[in-house]
Amino acid sequence: MGDYKDHKTALVADVDCTAAGKPLCDSNGVQGFPTIKHGDPSNLEDYEGGRSYDDLKSFADENLKPVCGPANLDLCDDEKKAEIEKLQAMSSEDLDKAISEKEEDLAAAEKTFETEVEKLQKKYQSLMEEKDATIKAVKDSGLGLMKAVKSAAKDKGKDEL
């Protein structure tokens, strides 16, 4: 944080999600600690890189700079400018509705993921139980005794000194 203390366009901050910062953390999907987010303050993204000072410093040097957006149209290509202008022309209600629909899409994707992972967990548990039962049945059917007889027969064929 000290490296970016007086930076003109980048902010590196620490938020206590258990105290006054809880509403901010909740609105940005922070679920565990520590969590590192980056990007536009109104659209923060998860940081997935390394946690060493060098990793964080390298990421910050490469990524903490002004980016294309409503506040920096000069950094946008024509396509992105047109998209921003189209969104700016929408009423507040229509924009809220569009945002809500996109957030519902994200929630649906998360729900599908969780449901499918739960199915995989159940299948994994079932396969694990089946494997354990098969291993027990094979061992109970005399595998150990067979190995002992085989080993004894091999030892019997050796000449004693």
Does 35 reside within a domain? yes
User: What pTM did the predictor assign?
Assistant: 0.57
* 128 in any annotated domain: no
The count of structural domains within the chain is 1
Between residues 8 and 77, the one the model is more confident about: 77
- Indicate whether 97 belongs to any domain: no
pLDDT tens for 10-57 read 888 888 888 898 888 888 888 888 889 888 777 888 899 999 999 998
Look up the domain containing 7 and give its range.
Answer: 1-66
Q: What is the dihedral of CA 136, 142, 145, 150, to 10 degrees?
A: -110
Q: Where are the beta strands (DSSP E) in the chain?
A: 37-38, 45-46
In a domain, 130, yes or no: no
Whether residue 23 is contained in a domain is answered as yes
Residue 27 lies in a domain: yes
